[in-house]
Amino acid sequence: MRQPDGEIQALLTQLGSGAPHSAWTAFLTSYSGLIYGVVHIFAHEQDHIADCFVFACEKLAERNYRRILSFRPDGKARFTTWLRAVVRNLCLDWHRSQFGRKQVFTSVAGRSGVDQEIFRAVFHRKETIAQVCAHFSKNGCELSYSDVETRVEELRASMTARQLWLLSTGRHSLEFLDSHGPALEIADTSPDPETLSLMRDTKLAVVRAFAQLNSSDRLLLRLRFAESLSFVQVARLLGLKDAQTADRRIRDVLERLREKLGVHGVVLGKRKSASV
């Protein structure tokens, strides 16, 4: 993911030029996956993830990309490390604008964004420490088990007995199957070997055809399908005229992809227009 310093400097120079659109497209192509991973730490429902992602990208682009241009290639931090920290702060801004601070006690609100997410994961979503570590690791933030455990204990110590009681009473009730009841027979729905082989061949063909598209076309498909943005959101991020233009561009790319695959009967990436 990390680009050599020369390429980072070139990207910053292009963003600061009078015609930065192609540089912004290149930035999203290289770093939208990193941004999306950080967003996943702070948002969990798909609509929230897409909204937070767009919010972060728009904040990075506002005022002629001032936030991105504030990075110093000769500084101590790598660009990817610096960008994760900036996006984390933007995600916190988005979360506060949407939900306020109702879910965070004053003693917790003053702590770091990582601690606040651990608070939500452990005390609200009732995740285990192992699950928290896995979630952070999956999204590019490495925390050891002992580090998370220490942070949880510090969070617990910062809260009053009443606050801990309020959190405990907010737990969702769970219903469990009676382990002594009759065993349930679950049908094996896994595909047979022939189907698996066909699926692998199809996936390989799609990957090869996708790689032949230009970077702008790949970015369109990634934002729309991998990151589940609406046509409106895609248009806003890429500076397209409107949602219909984004829809038309994406349909054109999909048609070219079908032609490359030579399988005109396969439906690729069909979405209901209602999601605009």
Backbone angles phi, psi at 35, to 5 degrees: -60, -45
Task: Measure Cα distances from 150 to 125, 143, 159 in Å.
Answer: 18, 11, 15
Q: What percent of the chain has pLDDT over 90?
A: 28
Mean local confidence (pLDDT), 197-202 = 78
pLDDT, one tens digit per residue, over 137-154 is 877 777 888 999 999 999
Helix (H) or strand (E) run with residue 69 in it: helix 46-69
**Is the four-CA dihedral 39, 44, 48, 50 of positive or negative sign?**
positive
**Does the pLDDT of residue 113 top 90, yes or no?**
no
**Among the ranges given (160-174, 197-211, 236-250, 258-272), the one the predictor scored with the smallest mean pLDDT:** 258-272
Identify the three-state secondary structure at position 120. helix
CA distances for 230 relative to 46, 51, 255, angstroms: 11, 10, 19
